[in-house]
Amino acid sequence: MTATGGLLRQVPRLTMGLLAVPVLAGTAGTLLPAFGVAGLVPGGPGLTAFHALWDWPGLAGAVWLSLVTGVASTVLALAISLGLVASLIGRRGFAGVQRLLSPLLSVPHAAAALGLAFLIAPSGWIARALSPWATGWTQPPDLLILNDPGGLALTFGLVAKETPFLLLMILAALPQTDAARRLTVAASLGYGRLAGFALTVLPALYAQVRLPVYAVLAYAMTSVEMALILGPSLPPSLSVQVTRWAMEPSLTGRGTAAAGALVQLALVAGVLGVWRAAETVVVRALRRAAASGRRGAGLDRIGQPVALACGLVPALALCAGLAGLAVWSVAGLWPFPDALPAGITWQTWTRAAPGLAQAAGTTLGLAVVSTAVALALVLAWLEAEHRFGPDSQTGAMWLLYLPLIVPQVAFLPGLQMLALSSGAAVGWGAVAAAHLIFVLPYVFLSLAAPYRAWDGRIAVLGAALGAGQGRVFWQLRLPMMLAPVLTAVAVGVAVSVGQYLPTLLIGGGRVETLTTEAVALSSGGNRRVIGAYALMQMALPACGFGLALALPRLIFANRRGVGAG
Amino acid sequence: MTGLELEALSVQNGAAPPLVSLTARIAPAEVLTIMGASGSGKSVLLAALTGTLPPGFHAGGRIVLNGVDVTRLPTRSRRIGLLFQDDVLFPHLSVGGNLGFGLPARVPDRAARIDAALTEAGLPGFADRDPATLSGGQRARVALLRTLLADPQALLLDEPFSRLDADLRVQIRGLVLDRARARGLPVILVTHDPEDARAAGGRVLSPMGQPIDV
């Protein structure tokens, strides 16, 4: 008992180390070769790698693209999700939005991007639906709607994918802000919905969702798979170019990749700093507005419809895009500008079946292993917290978010080089370990709140009835936690399935999952095969969430008192 | 020495003045009522007796049950049965599963024992029922059975009737106190309600040990 208690007590710290060490070591592993220190780059210590980077003509454009798409999509996603919450709190549509969130969230970034690409491309569904009667096009027009140099398509994709995530985080934080009563007070004083929300709820709410917002900002600035599919190619965004260099077989390429990754890291750090400063400015403005006593009731008439429309358009586009993937995967002949294919055929699926099955097997294996390890660690962490009292919670939260805020391109190339130089076999196991770094924070975030909210009297009662802590955990707490545990598993599986860069870099391009295959195919333009792969990529997490919903209902069908879902 | 003895039991939060200070002996089948408004030391006293004081609090003095000093024992080893103001039935287990959780593992013929206990309590054939389908009174009785099947040496009642409506409350209170007396258990009843204290019929003290007249 003492021995296990001793080990259990150490789990939170061990787990935090498990998250922090790869991120920090990977960043260092990126830093050193950038300056030619690690001996991997010819020419010894110096700035050779940076010279190579400066000599790349696309650098300024790539940096600008990263900056604009990242910041614009984060501001938009945050504004839309706050506007939606403010408009819908306490109204009937709210529950509907909440139910829509999980399925939207479970769609991997790559599948979402591919679906949107099929929708908005010059030969995509929208153009087909409008042609030739409205546009006069009988051929796909030569327009850069997709992969546009300004990154508009990429920004739209990021907004569509990040808004559900921010909404979920906001909804999770909302109960702690006493929002309903504050809004009632504000309304009784004559404030409009949006103004009342911004002045009375937002300050407390934002403090709770700050870290998720930073994670979204960092992701949006550095996403590789979405930028590959939706972003421009000449020049591509910085993270895409860094990935290209990192995948080059030559050591020079790796040095340039390291230097580029460092610039990307500095860029994200700089933007986060500016964002933090902007928060202070906004808070001051809100305080002034509150003191001014202006009720802002007129805002609602324009603000609420705009928020609803801006929330609806990306969600609908995402759904239409995903439907497009499905239609393409079974499409027979489908010439432009027909809105629907001339016939349905399973030929694509039968032909792709062997490759699909193999990639799906690898994907599922990685997801199961990384999620199982993450779940065991998170449960042990939370149980240790319950038994021995929590360590510093804010510190732990920052560590949890570390792998989500430090850009993947900044530490994965370093980690890849460390793995290579240590002679460790870069393969399936290393990729699963890399997935764990990203799966674990999400499993923790999903499980922590319900685990902590569990009625502690049940543990006391179990103990008063003579049960030890082990028995209380296995026979009372875990069964009662079945629904949230399965949801956390589904989240973990979805995160692992969606991983592109860790799979590509740590696997050295040799571990092929549905995600890496779908992204690799995306440049080829065979829409039928892309549709099949993207659909499979989407189906795995969807099945996970479906099971997480269905199993507790089946197992506890006869137990109304167990909250299902 | 039988019964439950509190020897100069005190609870403090850090260096603040004590919230609880009690010396009392509760003989078998006797009820001691601790009465106070919420925020008096009631919940802290409960936590000290069950061994679940939150970090920062510390208990002084001794708790002796039938001659055994249980002050430093973990909750599971104290053999002090507990009834909360809600029944806190485990929602994922059937009624029989809840009772089986309380029944010590060494007891043979478990299903028969559980059925007999249910029948005796006026709930025959309830073993397979979902606790969520029971009425308030039925749930309270199952909670009492679960506590008693664990064979406690003393009983601790945390306002155990306050969520029931008036008629039911009288009925369940009578049932719990009768069962405790029949088994010769020393009982500590913690409540804010003078009606509970009168019905219990024993001494009434504040958490600081002053006698209260009800």
B128 burial level (CB within 10 Å; 0-12, 13-18, 19+): exposed
Q: How far is CA A440 from the centre of its chain?
A: 13
Separation CA B10–CA B44 (nearest Å): 10
DSSP H or E stretch at residue B199: helix B194-200
Q: Supply the DSSP string of A41-59, one letter for each residue.
A: STT-SSSHHHHHHHH-TTH
Nearest to A494 by CA among A102, A228, A166: A102
A-interface mutation test, from B75, B85, B98, B147, most A Cβ less than 10 A away? B75
Strand duo B68-69 + B20-26: pairing: unpaired
User: Mean per-residue pLDDT for A237-247?
Assistant: 91
Mean per-residue pLDDT, A173-193: 82
Structural contact between residues B187 and B32, judged by C-beta atoms closer than 8 angstroms: yes
Domains of chain A by start residue, with CATH: 62-236+300-344 (1.10.3720.10)
**CA–CA gap between residue B212 and residue B33 (Å, rounded):** 10
**Contacting residues of B for A461, CB less than 8 Å apart:** 82, 84, 88
Residue A509's CB is within 10 A of a number of other CB atoms, namely 13
Lowest-confidence range among A1-15, A251-265, A407-421, A458-472?
Answer: A1-15
ipTM of predicted complex: 0.78
Nearest CA distance, A482 vs chain B (angstrom): 10
**Whether residue A361 has pLDDT greater than 90:** yes
Q: If interface means Cβ-Cβ distance under 8 Å, which residues of chain A face chain B?
A: 389, 455, 457-458, 460-468, 475-476, 479-480, 482, 556, 558-562
- Which tokens go with B193? 């309600």
Contact A552, A562 (CB under 8 A): yes
For chain B, how many helices (H) and strands (E)? 7, 9
Strands ordered across the beta sheet of B154-158: B80-83, B154-158, B187-191, B31-35, B203-205
Q: What is the mean pLDDT of residues A482-509?
A: 93
Question: Distance from B213 to chain A by nearest Cα, in Å?
Answer: 31
Long-range own/partner contacts, residues A545-549 (CB < 8 A, 24 or more apart): A545/A102, A545/A103, A545/A106, A545/A487, A545/A490, A545/A494, A547/A486, A547/A490, A548/A483, A548/A486, A548/A487, A548/A489, A548/A490
Which candidate, A69, A146, A77, places its Cα nearest to that of A105?
Answer: A77
How confident is the model over B125-148, as pLDDT tens digits? 999 999 999 999 999 999 999 999
Q: Is pLDDT above 70 for A412?
A: yes
Please tell me the distance from the alpha carbon of residue A41 to that of residue A26, in angstroms, as a whole number. Answer: 17
A165 pLDDT band (50/70/90 cuts)? very high
Provide the pLDDT for residue B3.
93
The 10 Å Cβ neighbour count of residue B8 is 11
Determine the Cα–Cα distance for residues A536 and A523; give it in Å rounded to an integer. 18
Of A464, A475, A562, the CB nearest to B75: A464
Question: Inter-chain contact B133–A560, Cβ cutoff 8 Å?
Answer: yes
Contact B206, B212 (CB under 8 A): yes
pLDDT band at A426 (very low <50, low <70, confident <90, very high): low
pLDDT, averaged across chain B: 90
Whether residue B92 and residue A480 make contact (CB cut-off 8 A), yes or no, is yes
Instruction: Give yes or no for a contact between A375 and A492, defined as CB atoms under 8 angstroms apart.
Output: yes
pLDDT for residue A38 is more than 70: no
Report the gap between the CA of A443 and the closest CA in chain B (Å). Answer: 23
**pLDDT over 80 at A142, yes or no:** yes
CA A311 remoteness from chain centre: 18
Residues of A in contact with B76 (CB under 8 A): 463-468
Q: Percent of chain A having pLDDT more than 90?
A: 56
Q: Note the pLDDT tens digit of each residue in B53-62.
A: 887 888 999 9
Domains contained in chain B, CATH given: 1-79+152-214 (3.40.50.300), 92-150 (no CATH)
Choose between A261 and A177: higher pLDDT.
A261
Largest Cα separation within chain B, whole Å, is 54
- Would you give the DSSP letter of residue A498? H
Pairs from A553-560 (Cβ < 8 Å, separation ≥ 24)? A555/A482, A556/A482, A556/B92, A558/B94, A558/B130, A559/B91, A559/B92, A559/B93, A559/B94, A559/B130, A559/B131, A559/B132, A560/B91, A560/B130, A560/B132, A560/B133
Q: A339 φ, ψ to 5°?
A: -80, -25
Query: What is the longest distance spanned by two Cα atoms in chain A?
Result: 80
Q: What is the pLDDT of residue A24?
A: 93
Task: Please count the CA atoms within 13 angstroms of the CA of A370 that sit on its side-chain side.
Answer: 35
Strand partners, B58: B12
Burial, A289: exposed, middle or buried (Cβ in 10 Å; 0-12, 13-18, 19+)?
Answer: middle
How many residues appear in chain A?
A: 565
CA distance A556 to chain B (A): 7
Q: Between chain A and chain B, how many beta carbons pairs sit less than 8 Å apart?
A: 80
Q: Using CB atoms within 10 Å of the CB of residue A87, give its burial: 0 to 12 exposed, 13 to 18 middle, 19+ buried.
A: buried
pLDDT digits (tens, 9 = 90+) for A283-292: 889 888 887 7
Convert the pLDDT of each residue in A295-344 to its tens digit.
Answer: 887 888 898 999 999 999 999 999 999 999 999 999 988 988 888 999 99
- Per-residue HEC secondary structure of A233-271 comes to CCCCCHHHHHHHHHHCCCHHHHHHHHHHHHHHHHHHHHH
Minimal-distance CA residue of chain A relative to B154: A464
3-state secondary structure of B189: strand
Residues of B in contact with A463 (CB under 8 A): 50-52, 74-76
Residue of B50, B82, B132 lying closest to A560 (CB–CB): B132
Picking from A390, A364, A375, A359, the residue whose alpha carbon sits closest to that of residue A517 is: A359
Q: What angle do CA A460, A461, A467 make, to 5 degrees?
A: 85
Q: What is the DSSP string of B11-71?
A: EEETTSPPSEEEEEEE-TT-EEEEE--TTSTHHHHHHHHHT-PPTTEEEEEEEEETTEE-T
Q: What is the mean pLDDT of chain A?
A: 89
Residue listed under structure tokens 């001996």: A39
Residues 6+ apart with CB under 8 A from A244: A236
pLDDT value for A141 = 86
- pLDDT at residue A42 in the model: 56
Please count the CA atoms within 13 angstroms of the CA of B47 that sit on its side-chain side: 20
Spatial distance between the Cα atoms of B79 and B50, rounded to a whole number of angstroms: 9
Whether B102 and A476 lie within 8 Å, measured CB to CB: no
The nearest alpha carbon in chain B to A553 belongs to B92
Note whether A468 contacts B50, CB cutoff 8 Å.
Answer: no
